[in-house]
Amino acid sequence: MGARLDPPLKDDCDVAVIGGSLAGSAAAYALARNGARVIVLEKARFPRDKVCGCFLSNEALPVLGRMGLREELGRNAAETITRFRLVRRDGIAVESLLPKPAMSISRSCLDSLAAAAAERAGARMHFGTTVLSLEGDLQEGFRIKGLNCEVGARAVLGAWGRYSPLDGRLGRTFIRRKSFLFGFGKMLVGRSEHLAGRAVLHFFDGGYVGLSRVEGGHVNLAALANSHVAQSAHHDFDSLLDRLSRESPALAADLEALSPLTGPVLLSEPVHLGAHGALAGDVLCVGDAAGVIDPYTGTGMALALLFGEAAAAPVAAFLAGTLDVDGLKRAHLRRHREIAGRRFFFSRLFRPFFSGGVASRLIHPAAAPLARWAARATRE
């Protein structure tokens, strides 16, 4: 899929989806299945790696089932995760069962599967397409322009992820807030049996790093950290891992038989945690474009799929004429609140425990019941 060179695009459609990752593909799939003419504009070429915990919590599975991807997960050997473990630098840990089994699968694999499902449903996928300008509204329609595209659409879904230059052009206020958090990640190879069925978070001064096995027995390492640590990862990833391992014998033990794959470390743009807004003018935002939940919850991929699918029904009603512009916007906001509200509230409430600071010292084996409750609260 990613090797295909898409010709310049100039066309009209019912819905343009900007971003073809999980939220965008889920929305495109549901809309195309409902008969809408959908064009997806994705700047990357799949498959591609992405900074992500690669943790697929249970509530995403019904969406993937409706997209016809449950069996695909099995064929691609997604890892089943039943337990989570939180480890302080001094080795003190709390471990517990997850409320329901989860899966771990690389973004390069899952994003490609989701995009292929949307394409089979009838959505037109265009990769390597960077959107430069977006004009119009839901009353008169939109015009979208890029280096190799010009698209007209009755409605636009923003599924461009945590940050895009479009956020600034649309006047979104969250980008005015200074963020000192960055994500970084790397795929590790080697003996990983000790991590089978478990997701592990290790805390360090300035952030935390998560480890989980994905397909092929590889281990996905994903971290959220302050700018100083992220810069260290960018400049010399091996040296950073050596330092963190010296500070945490437990992390050293988990990494002992593993080594990074060749290639550069993945580094994210600044991460603005919390709600960004499900509307950007008349653009309906889904997934991380609408808000970024704390990565420690392990629900980011699931929420992207839920948000994307949920946006389809009100948009379809708008296209059919049974919802006007205001009704569409109200319905989209209401559905977003239903999915996000409780999860985002509790993820923020527990954030101090995952900052690598003083509050993380309260992590203790006796806190296992609280940890299980927190895991449920950020999923239901």
Residue 328 has a pLDDT of: 98
pLDDT at 3: 45
For residue 340, being part of any structural domain is answered with yes
Show contacts of 89-93: CB within 8 Å, 24+ apart: 89/202, 89/203, 89/204, 89/205, 89/247, 89/248, 89/250, 90/248, 91/248, 91/249, 91/250, 92/363, 92/364, 92/365, 93/250, 93/363, 93/365
The pLDDT of residue 341 is 80
* Whether residues 247 and 369 fall in one domain: yes
pLDDT given for residue 148 in this prediction: 86
Residues 240, 277 within the same domain: no
Let me know if residue 370 belongs to a domain.
yes
Q: Does one domain contain both 254 and 193?
A: yes
- For residue 151, being part of any structural domain is answered with yes
pLDDT at 11: 87
Within this chain, do residues 139 and 259 fall inside the same structural domain, yes or no?
no
Residues of the chain where predicted confidence (pLDDT) is lower than 50: 2-3, 364, 366-367
Assess contact for 348 and 272: CB atoms under 8 A. Answer: no
Q: Do 169 and 22 lie in a common domain?
A: yes
Whether 129 and 173 share a structural domain:
yes
Same domain, 189 and 222: yes
311-329 in b/e form (b: 16+ CB < 10 A) is bbbbbbbbbeeebeeeebb
What confidence score (pLDDT) does residue 2 get?
46
Q: How many CB atoms lie within 10 A of CB 140?
A: 10
Contacts of 256 (CB under 8 A, 6+ apart): none
Indicate which CATH number applies to the domain containing 332.
3.50.50.60
Does residue 195 lie in a domain region? yes
What's the pLDDT score for residue 212?
97
| Number of separate domains in the chain | 2
Residue 2 in any domain: the answer is no
> φ and ψ at 229, to 5 degrees?
-65, -40
The answer to whether residue 331 sits within a structural domain is yes
Q: What is the CATH number of the domain that holds 370?
A: 3.30.9.100
* DSSP label at residue 320: H
In a domain, 253, yes or no: yes
The answer on 332 and 289 residing in a single domain is: yes
Q: Are residues 36 and 129 in the same domain?
A: yes
pLDDT at position 356, please? Answer: 54
Query: Percent of the chain at pLDDT above 70?
Result: 91
Domain encompassing residue 59: 55-100+178-271+356-377
Residues 21 and 131 in one domain: yes
Q: Which H or E run contains 227?
A: helix 227-235
Q: Are residues 87 and 160 in the same domain?
A: no
Question: Same domain for 227 and 187?
Answer: yes
Residue 237 covered by a domain: yes
